[in-house]
Amino acid sequence: MARQSMREEIVEAAAERFHTHGYNAAGVKDITADAGVPKGSFYNHFASKEALALTILERYGASRRLAELADPAVPPVERLRRHFTFLRDEQQEYGYSRGCLLGNFGAEIADHSGTLRDGVEHGFDGWSQALSRAVADAVRDGSADPGLDPDDTALFLLCAWEGAILTARAARSDRPFTVFFAQTFDRLLAAPQR
């Protein structure tokens, strides 16, 4: 099997290290050692660790399956449920130890790097917009309360989800996700009473 490109090996190693150890604890030397490439090769592919982190944030955002939130073949509330189920299952798979890379970067370095803060904000904005469109579809088709503001509801869901992840990580417990699903789908996005 052919070896993947050195750049790709660096990206994959950095993504794993950033997600498990954090941005500040991931030095270029650690990343290149994990990738099995010479340290000097890093700067042939990236101007800085910050530039590498932006690449990883973009890839992470693309891995969140946001396009599925717009699938017209699936009822909108079910799209939202499937989306958060996918994210919950991912957290469970890693034993509640990794969190959300956007949230992790936002908490760790957003105050110290305007460039990475912008990258995190861009990621959250794209996610919130995808959630908002699904909520708008649910309002439009009558499966959610017509009084819900899609943008505000999307931001609330995003913030509640990030809080659930943080709490689940601290407790190493599924309970925050159970509460999130109950409050979101049994109350906030429950079908309106006729």
Domains recognised in the chain with CATH numbers: 6-57 (1.10.10.60), 64-188 (1.10.357.10)
Which residues have C-beta within 8 Å of that of residue 143, sequence separation ≥ 6?
75, 76, 77, 189, 191
Over residues 12-21, the mean pLDDT reads 95
pLDDT band at residue 109 using 50, 70 and 90 as cut-offs = confident
pLDDT at 111 (0 to 100):
84
| Cα dihedral sign, 171-81-149-125 | positive
pLDDT band at residue 110 using 50, 70 and 90 as cut-offs = confident
CA distance linking residue 69 with residue 133, whole number of Å: 8
User: Residue 37 pLDDT > 50, yes or no?
Assistant: yes
pLDDT at 118 (0 to 100):
95
Q: Global pTM?
A: 0.93
